[in-house]
Amino acid sequence: MSETYKHNTRDQALVASALKLLRKVALAKITKPGQLKTVASLAHILTKFPEVPDCGFISLMVNSPSHKFGEISTFHYWEVKVDGKTLTLSSGGNFSRPGIADSFTSMTWDASPNASPDFYDYRESLRMVPDVKSFPEGIEGISFSEGGYSLEMYDDENPDVEEYSSDDDDQ
């Protein structure tokens, strides 16, 4: 019997949202052909959840364009990462206004074999971020056709992923 992650309906919903993010990335014009292998690898791992993968390091991060709210500026990120047998989903970003700039984490979810995932939702403590959303809501709001998004990918098994700078300047 293969190893599995312990999980509940919240965990299933977070993994489903991460799969939605990967589908959006796969269809985005900023995604280069060499990066699709990494997107597909992560999607394959998530479709097998709660089975535990046995792989190296794979990470995909989507960065949003900057959003302005008067003097406040924010940008957000959403990350899907596998490091060996640990699966991590996270979101956060940067917040700035005159005299103040800081990064923030809005959610982390870490799953390890045979253990309940660690889930932390920090949105209650982020009242200064006017557009903070849950991980699923943030992913729902991603629209690559709006422009301004960028991708960061790392993959031990895909040397092609390093060849591309993924921004949407050429759209």
Average pLDDT over residues 67-91: 97
Name the phi and psi angles at 125, rounded to 5. Answer: -90, 5
Does the pLDDT value for residue 166 go beyond 80?
Answer: no
pTM of the predicted structure, to 2 decimals: 0.92
Return the HEC string of 14-31: HHHHHHHHHHHHHHCCCC
Does the pLDDT value for residue 164 go beyond 70?
Answer: no
Does the pLDDT value for residue 171 go beyond 80?
Answer: no
Measured between alpha carbons, how far is 17 from 137 in angstroms, rounded to an integer? 9
So what's the pLDDT on residue 54? 84
Does the pLDDT value for residue 169 go beyond 90?
Answer: no
Q: How confident is the model at residue 161 (pLDDT cuts 50, 70, 90)?
A: confident
Does the pLDDT value for residue 162 go beyond 80?
Answer: no
Question: 27 and 39 in contact (C-beta within 8 Å)?
Answer: no
Question: Tell me: the pLDDT tens digits for 12-53?
Answer: 999 999 999 999 999 999 999 999 999 999 999 999 999 998
Mean confidence (pLDDT) of the chain: 92
Does the pLDDT value for residue 3 go beyond 90?
Answer: no
Measured between alpha carbons, how far is 47 from 16 in angstroms, rounded to an integer? 9
Q: Where are the domains of the chain?
A: 9-156
Question: Tell me: the pLDDT tens digits for 114-146?
Answer: 899 999 999 999 988 999 999 999 999 999 999
Average pLDDT over residues 69-98: 96
